[in-house]
């Protein structure tokens, strides 16, 4: 298959949702990450990196708290979401991906002996006024 063929829209019987987020989903995710970063900073975490990418995946927030590196997965949902809660969406597959990417980060920054933990922050958009319900789970996995 040529590069041009790969770029052509697919109109077959494939009903899977697009791997690319729609603009509204992307904006919601960015908003949620902003809310999470502010919440973590207010709680004393020093933010070291955001949206750190490697071939294995992306880590939403990398921070430092209590002498540990903290790898944070942020999940954002609308209050009327019908696909489960933000916390429920961090399944075993996602946990493996975050761990693998964290290992790449530790090697890239020569911090393989540094203690670390994996947190989840669930952000739920509440209403049209921009309020956020934030749940931070340290040592989530």
Structure confidence at residue 125 (pLDDT) = 84
Residue 45 burial (C-beta neighbours within 10 Å; 0-12, 13-18, 19+): buried
Query: Domain segments of the chain: what residues?
Result: 21-137
CA 117, CA 140: separation in Å to the nearest integer? 8
Nearest partner of 98 among 37, 140, 68, 66, judged by Cα: 140
CA 17, CA 32: separation in Å to the nearest integer? 21
pLDDT of 52 strictly over 80 = yes
Handedness of CA 129, 17, 137, 51 (dihedral sign): negative
* 21-137: CATH architecture: 3-Layer(aba) Sandwich (3.40)
Structure confidence at residue 109 (pLDDT) = 97
More confident residue, 30 or 90: 30
9 — pLDDT class (breaks 50, 70, 90): very low
Residues 94-104 have a mean pLDDT of 97
107 — pLDDT class (breaks 50, 70, 90): very high
Residues 7-18 have a mean pLDDT of 39
Residue 50's φ and ψ, nearest 5 degrees, are -130, 140
Greatest mean pLDDT among 46-55, 82-91, 128-137 lies in 46-55
């Amino acid at each position: 298959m040529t590069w041009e063929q790969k770029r052509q829209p697919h109109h077959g019987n494939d009903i899977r949702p697009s791997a690319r987020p729609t603009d509204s989903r992307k904006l919601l995710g960015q908003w949620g990450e902003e809310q999470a970063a502010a919440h973590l900073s207010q709680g004393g975490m020093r933010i070291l990196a955001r949206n750190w990418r490697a071939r294995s995946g992306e880590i939403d927030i990398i921070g430092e708290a209590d002498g540990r590196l903290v790898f944070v997965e942020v999940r954002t949902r609308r209050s009327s979401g019908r696909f489960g809660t933000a916390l429920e969406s961090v399944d075993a597959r996602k946990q493996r991906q975050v761990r693998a990417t964290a290992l790449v980060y530790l090697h890239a920054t020569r911090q393989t002996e540094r203690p670390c933990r994996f947190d989840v922050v669930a952000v739920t958009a509440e209403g049209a006024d921009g309020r956020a319900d934030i749940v931070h789970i340290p040592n989530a996995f």
